[in-house]
Amino acid sequence: MAKINDDVLRLFLDFIEVDALDSIASAHPVFHEARMASRYATVRLNKRDRDSKRFIAHLSQEWVGRHVKSVAIQPWLVDPRTKSPRSKTENAITRCMEILDPHYTKKKAEQRLQKRLTKDTVRVQNALEVMKNVQEYIIEWDGDPNYHPEFYHAFVLPPLEAWSSHLISLSICLPPSTFNSLARVRLPHLETLSVQFDTGNLSESDTMHLYDGFIVFINNLKDSLTSLKVSSTCSSLNLNLSRIFRRMGTFPRLRKISLSIPFDGGHLPDPLAFADFVAKHHSSLKDLSIVTSRCTAHSKTGGDPEHVNWIQHILTSFHIPFPRLTAFEVALRPLRGPLDTLGHFIDMHSTTLQSLSLADRGLDVMDLQRLFLSPHMAWDGLHELRFKAQTVTAPLLTCIAHLLPDLKACSLESADVDFEHPSFVPLNLVSSKGGVPVMAECSTPRSIERDRHALIHWGLQRLVINTPQNLHSSDKAQHQMCLLKDKLGAYLPGLNASLFCKL
C-alpha cells in the first residue's frame, strides 16, 4: 500500500479532536508529534511534591522540552525546615554539639533547607534549559513575604536571557527587590508585557528606587512592545505608580494599554501621569482598559475626591479622539458618580468603537439612555457590549435594541433576571431640548410599532447573562431564561441566548 505523505496527514489533524490524539499517537510520527505538541504546549510549575519532581524530570528530556511554548512558574516554599525524628545515637550527638554550639540545630536546619533549595533550583533549571521554543513566560509571586530569593535569582534572569531571541509574551509579579535585576535583560521581540506590583507595607520612600531597573527594562522594549498591562495589589499600601508612568517613554508599536488598581485611586496620586503616557500613543492605540480592584486595606486617600475621581480626571484630559480606538473597557467609579464624563468620551469615539465594556456599577434603562442617546453619536460599528445591569428585563433589552441596532453580541452581569412581564414593554425614547434623554410617560401605537421594528431589525446574534451561583442554580433563573427565549425569539429567531454562573 502506498505511503501517505506527511503533509497530507498534517491536514487530517485539523479534523481530529485533541482528546483522540492519545489513541492514534503510535500510528504515525506525525500524530505522535501532534500529541506531544498538544500535551506539553503549556506547563505550570508551582509546587514541590513527588509528582512534580517526576514531571519536571520528564520535561528535562530534550524530545519533550522542545514542544513547550508557554511556561508558568509560581515559586513555592520549601517545607518542612526541620528534620524528621532521629535515632538515639544521632540525638545524643546533637545534644553534645549543642553544648559546643548553641546554634548548632538552627545551622543544620539551614543547611538542609539550602540543600533542598539547591536541588529544586537545579531540577527546574535543567528543565528550562532544554525548552528551546518558549514564546510565553509567566512568573508569579503570591505576595508571601516568606519567599526564597534563590528561586527568583534562578528563575528570572537566566531563562529570560536564554529565551531573548524568541520570547513574545512576559507576565511578571515579583518581590520588589527583584525588579532592579531586569535592567540587564534585553528582549528584542517581546510584544506583550503584563506586570503586577505588590509592595506590601513598604513605605513610599523605600519603594522609590526599587523600580529603576524596571524602567530601564521596559524602555528598552520601545521597538517591539504592542500590549502593556499594569496592575497593583490591594496589599500595596504606599505604591505610587505615577512615578513609573512619568518615566516611561514612547512605544511606537503599542496598540493596547491596560491599567488595574484599587478603586480608591491611591496608587495613582497623579492621574495625569498615566493620561500623558496614554496620550503619547494617540495615533496607534486601539485598545484601552481602565479597571479597578478592591480598595487597599488602609486607603491613604481618606475619601479625597481628587483621588476617588481618578478615572474621570484621566478621561477629561483627552480632548482629541483616538483615531484607531476600537475597544474600551472602564470601571464606573465612584459607583454613584455622574456619567457625563464617560458619555463625552464614548461620544468622541462612537465612530470607531467596536467593543465597549462597562464594569462595577449596575446600569438601568435611564443610564443607558444617558450614555448612548445623543444626536452626535453614530453607533454603526459597535458590535460588542458588556455591562452590569441592575436587573435584566425586557425593557432593558428593548432599550438596547433602539440605541444599538447593529450590536452583534451583548454580555450582561446581574443579580436579578425578570421577564415575567407579558411582552417586551414599548419604550418611547425621546430627547429633551437640553439633550438629556428621557423616557415618555406612556406608549402610543406609533411607539409600539417602533419598538417592534427595532427588535425585528436588531442585529443581535448572541446574548450572555452572567448571574451569581445562587441565582444560576435556582428554578427561577431557568424559568426566566425560558421566558426570554420565547419572547425575544419571536423577534430574533436566530439568537443564541445563554445563562452562565459568575464565579
CA 265, 373, 433, 331: dihedral to nearest 10 degrees? -10
Q: If pLDDT is split at 50, 70 and 90, which confidence band does 436 have?
A: very low
Between 243 and 376, residue with greater pLDDT: 243
Q: Residue 148: name the closest of 182, 183, 124 by CA.
A: 124
* Three-state SS at 202: coil
CA distances from residue 279 to 119, 160, 245, 350 in whole angstroms, order as listed:
48, 30, 12, 19
The answer to whether residue 367 sits within a structural domain is yes
> What are the pLDDT digits (tens) for 117-131?
999 999 999 999 999
What SS3 string covers 95-147?
A: HHHHHHCCCHHHHHHHHHHHHHHHHHHHHHHHHHHCCCCCCEEEEECCCCCCC
Question: 499, 472 in Cβ contact below 8 A?
Answer: yes
> What are the pLDDT digits (tens) for 376-433?
667 788 999 999 999 988 889 999 999 999 999 999 999 888 877 645 545 544 444 3
The answer to whether residue 372 sits within a structural domain is yes
Quick one: cell of 169? 509574551
Nearest 5°: phi and psi at 396? -65, -45
Query: With pLDDT > 90 as the criterion, what percentage of the chain qualifies?
Result: 55
Question: 182, 137 in Cβ contact below 8 A?
Answer: no
Kindly write down the DSSP assignment for every residue of 212-270, as one continuous string: HHHHHHHHTTTTT--EEEEEE-TT-SS--HHHHHHH----TT--EEEEEEETT-TT-S-
Q: If pLDDT is split at 50, 70 and 90, which confidence band does 40 have?
A: confident
pTM score of the predicted model: 0.87
Quick one: cell of 393? 428585563
d(CA 177, CA 387): 39
The answer to whether residue 418 sits within a structural domain is yes
> What are the pLDDT digits (tens) for 21-33?
555 655 556 555 6
The answer to whether residue 29 sits within a structural domain is no
Q: If pLDDT is split at 50, 70 and 90, which confidence band does 306 have?
A: low
Q: Kindly give, in sequence order, each residue whose CB lies less than 8 Å from that of residue 238, ignoring residues fewer than 6 positions away.
A: 199, 201, 202, 203, 204, 207, 300
Q: If pLDDT is split at 50, 70 and 90, which confidence band does 452 have?
A: confident
Give pLDDT, residue 285.
98
Query: Positive or negative, the Cα torsion across 41, 47, 52, 56?
Result: positive
Give pLDDT, residue 444.
63
Q: What average pLDDT does the chain have?
A: 84
Query: Positive or negative, the Cα torsion across 112, 113, 114, 118?
Result: positive
Give pLDDT, residue 432.
42
d(CA 205, CA 222): 28
Q: Which amino acid type is present at position 40?
A: Y
Q: If pLDDT is split at 50, 70 and 90, which confidence band does 20 have?
A: low
Other C-beta atoms within 10 Å of 376: how many? 8
Quick one: cell of 185? 535583560
The answer to whether residue 398 sits within a structural domain is yes
> What are the pLDDT digits (tens) for 87-100?
656 666 666 656 66
Task: Please give the span between the terminal C-alpha atoms of the chain, in angstroms, as a whole number.
Answer: 54
Give pLDDT, residue 301.
46
Q: How many domains does the chain have?
A: 1
The answer to whether residue 424 sits within a structural domain is yes
Q: How many CA atoms lie within 13 A of 51 on its CB side?
A: 4
Q: Kindly give, in sequence order, each residue whose CB lies less than 8 Å from that of residue 216, ignoring residues fewer than 6 positions away.
A: 182, 183
Question: 394, 487 in Cβ contact below 8 A?
Answer: yes
Kindly write down the DSSP assignment for every residue of 34-52, as one continuous string: HHHHHHHSEEEE---SHHH
Quick one: cell of 452? 417592534
Assess whether pLDDT exceeds 70 at residue 481. Answer: yes
The residues that bridge with 228 in the sheet, in sequence order, are 193, 257
Between 25 and 143, residue with greater pLDDT: 143
> What are the pLDDT digits (tens) for 315-345?
999 999 999 999 999 999 887 888 999 999 9
Range of the domain at 417: 354-503
Q: Residue 133: name the closest of 58, 41, 54, 221 by CA.
A: 41
How many residues are given for the chain?
Answer: 503
The residues that bridge with 293 in the sheet, in sequence order, are 262
Question: 302, 260 in Cβ contact below 8 A?
Answer: no
Give pLDDT, residue 467.
85
Cα 220 to chain centroid distance, Å, stands at 24
The answer to whether residue 340 sits within a structural domain is no
Query: With pLDDT > 70 as the criterion, what percentage of the chain qualifies?
Result: 77
Quick one: cell of 10? 498534517
Assess whether pLDDT exceeds 90 at residue 226. Answer: yes
Q: Alpha helix locations (H) across 6-100? A: 6-12, 21-24, 29-40, 50-59, 62-65, 88-100
* Three-state SS at 292: strand
The answer to whether residue 502 sits within a structural domain is yes
